[in-house]
Amino acid sequence: MTTIRWGILGCGNVCEVKSGPGLQKADGSDLVAVMRRNGALAADYAKRHGVPRWYDDADALIGDEAVDAVYIATPPSSHLELTRRVAAAGKPVYVEKPIAATSAEAEQMTHICEEAGVPLFVAYYRRRLPVFMQVEHWLREEAIGQVRFVSIRLFGSPSQADLSGAGAGWRIQSDVAGKGGYFHDLGCHQLDVLDYLLGPIEAVDGQSGNQSGLYDCEDAVTAAWRHAGGALGSGLWVFTAYEGSSTEEIEIVGSEGRISCSAFELDRPLRLERSGGHVEETTIEPPAHVQQPLIQSVVDALRGRGTCPSTGVSALRTAQVMDRILGVM
């Protein structure tokens, strides 16, 4: 294919800046159709973003002969069924993270796409963001020696929406987002990028609980794990701590130094500390559309000009790790 023509299922907020424009701006890529159950909102998105066609029916977009590949940008609970329908139409799938609400559904998705002979890609876009490619470069050149330990910390206070009972929509509905709620939505990014940087997690255990009772998902999670390469890891995620407690950091500790970075504040300086007191900080400006670098790798893979580092297989590993942490597998 000279140009990959995309259709989006679920052109909501994530498609406004993070992903939708990336499908339009990547080399060899074009966005030709969007769908949302609310047809007026789909039409509005199409008009504002210069997309030729819009639909309020998923099957209509999937069956559009001008659509070569489909981006599924709906909540996790719908990913399995939509992937089944897209794969049945013989079209490649690019699905939002987390890949599914459970690892069992994620495993079904990978099998469905394998049997249909279509590729499955997942929007873990940190695998191609410049800031994490710099971390990858430091690790490859052994800037901190051999990696010994990695830690994740993510905690903060509940939002006003949480306190009022309004909540943050699907992200804290266990039947839509999964048992982990915010952990499922945010922790998956951190765990997946560590899978990429340090290799698969081969052993993991965890504890979780709903401490506040503000919603029906877990709001506190801890975990300990081991990467295949030998590095040990620990994680702490708490979403109902005291006001002003907001903290988010990934720290990779080695035999000769450590790297500190943020998974979500992408313009925060990267910090490299080495033995002897040498400290290096570098700020790497994130792209305007954070998914565009990964989208480019998806398009290149579909055009036979490269590979994408985030597939159904790699995303399944992250889903399985999260389910083990939450004690659901």
**pLDDT for the residue numbered 1:** 67
- Spell out the residues 6+ positions from residue 152 whose beta carbon is closer than 8 angstroms to its own: 187, 190, 191, 194, 233, 234, 235, 236, 237, 249, 250
* Phi and psi at residue 152, to the nearest 5°: -120, 130
Q: Does residue 135 share a domain with residue 55? A: no
Q: Which domain holds residue 147?
A: 130-286
21-64 pLDDT, tens per residue?
999 999 999 999 999 999 999 999 999 999 999 999 999 999 99
Indicate whether 325 belongs to any domain.
no
One domain for residues 67 and 143: no
Give the per-residue pLDDT at 171.
83
CB burial readout 159-177, b (16+ within 10 A) else e? eeebeeeebbebbbbbebb
Residue at 311 is within a domain: no
Predicted confidence (pLDDT) per residue in 140-171, tens digit: 999 999 999 999 999 999 988 888 766 657 78
The answer to whether position 309 is within a domain reads: no
In this structure, are 164 and 108 located in the same domain? no
Q: Which residue has the higher pLDDT, 214 or 8?
A: 8
* CATH assignment of the domain containing 106: 3.40.50.720
Q: Over the stretch 306-316, which tens digit does the pLDDT of each residue have? A: 999 999 999 99
pLDDT of residue 329: 77
Q: What is the pLDDT of residue 18?
A: 97
134 and 280 in a single domain? The answer is: yes
Q: Is the pLDDT of residue 187 over 80?
A: yes
Mean pLDDT of 101-128: 98
DSSP label of 278 = E
Tell me: pLDDT of 195 over 80: yes
Task: Among 25-34, 165-174, 207-216, 240-249, name the one with the lowest average pLDDT.
Answer: 165-174
Domain membership flag for residue 310: no
Percent of the chain with pLDDT over 90: 91
Asked if the structure places residue 82 within a domain, the reply is yes
Which carries the bigger pLDDT value, residue 165 or residue 267? 267
**Each residue of 77-87: pLDDT tens digit?**
999 999 999 99
Q: What is the rounded average pLDDT for all residues in the chain?
A: 96
pLDDT for residue 197 is more than 90: yes
Q: Do both 279 and 177 map to the same domain?
A: yes
**CATH code (residue 165):** 3.30.360.10
Q: Is 250 among the domain residues?
A: yes
Q: 15 vs 75, 85, 87, 215, 322, CA distance in Å?
A: 13, 21, 22, 27, 25
Closest alpha carbon to 202 in 162, 236, 229: 229
- Say what the pLDDT of residue 159 is: 85
Q: How many domains does the chain have?
A: 2
Decide if 317 is inside a domain. no
Separation of alpha carbons 239 and 162, rounded Å: 10
Task: Mark whether 112 and 160 lie in a shared domain.
Answer: no
DSSP string, 106-171: HHHHHHHHHHHT--EEE--GGGG-HHHHHHHHHHHTTTT-SEEEEEEEEE-PPPHHHHHT-TTGGG
Burial zone of 281 (CB within 10 Å; 0-12 exposed, 13-18 middle, 19+ buried) = exposed
Task: Give the pLDDT band (50/70/90) at residue 227.
Answer: very high
